[in-house]
Amino acid sequence: MRIITAPGNDDPYEVDDLIRERGGDRVVLMEGEVTEIAPGHEMLSTGWSNHTPWNTHREFDEPVIREHIDAMASRLAHPEAAIFNIHVPPYGTGLDDAPELDADLKPVQGGNVMKPVGSTAVRDAILKHQPMLALHGHIHESRGIQKLGRTICINPGSVYGEGILQGVIVELGMDEVRYSLTTG
């Protein structure tokens, strides 16, 4: 079994070097790459994100993210059967809702004030290429499943701060995606 990695926006670039040096054949760095994960199914991967208030390591302007995704997508033999493994979720899908912050990076008062913070470039790329599946993370509070066109988009969420691991188990057929959100 291979473990495919694409470090996220919080991960310093030294993480890439560590994966290359110690990952061997099982833990592979796939940032910016396309790989066949099963017969007929390729996956492109990136941990890049749009800009956040924290100015983390792998943040880029939306046009740069779009170029990065489009360059990978151009290498897909069958985009309609592909998986987009993209850290940041598509903008405005509910998979990208995070607490609205004030100028001091504190949550806005007055209840649970949420707003979309995902990437417009990711949304546009998914709508253009229409992969079978898109897997996301980045926004821990927005666990869910949405469709963009024919693409099933999943954010398994995260509550690791409370010691809970959330994930998703996905089974792909040639024309079908089955999934189950998990918590442990």
pLDDT at 168 over 80: yes
**Residue 173 domain flag:** no
SS (H, E, C) the chain: CCEEECCCCCCCCHHHHHHHHHCCCCEEECCCCEEEEECCEEEEEECCECCCCCCCCCECCHHHHHHHHHHHHCCCCCHHHCEEEECCCECCCCCCEEECECCCCCECCCCCCEEECCEHHHHHHHHHHCCCEEECCCCCCCCEEEEECCEEEEECCCEHHHCECEEEEEEECCCCEEEEEEEC
Region 81-102: mean pLDDT is 96
Query: Which pLDDT band holds residue 90 (cuts at 50, 70, 90)?
Result: very high
pLDDT at 33 over 80: yes
**Residue 23 domain flag:** yes
Region 126-138: mean pLDDT is 98
**Residue 172 domain flag:** no
Using only C-alpha atoms, the chain has a radius of gyration, in whole angstroms, of: 16
User: Token digits for 133?
Assistant: 């599946």
Q: How many Å apart are CA 59 and CA 47, to the nearest integer?
A: 9
**Residue 165 domain flag:** no
Query: Which pLDDT band holds residue 111 (cuts at 50, 70, 90)?
Result: low
Query: Which pLDDT band holds residue 14 (cuts at 50, 70, 90)?
Result: very high
pLDDT at 115 over 80: yes
User: Token digits for 181?
Assistant: 């959100």
CATH number, position 117? 3.60.21.10
> So what's the pLDDT on residue 161?
85
**Residue 171 domain flag:** no
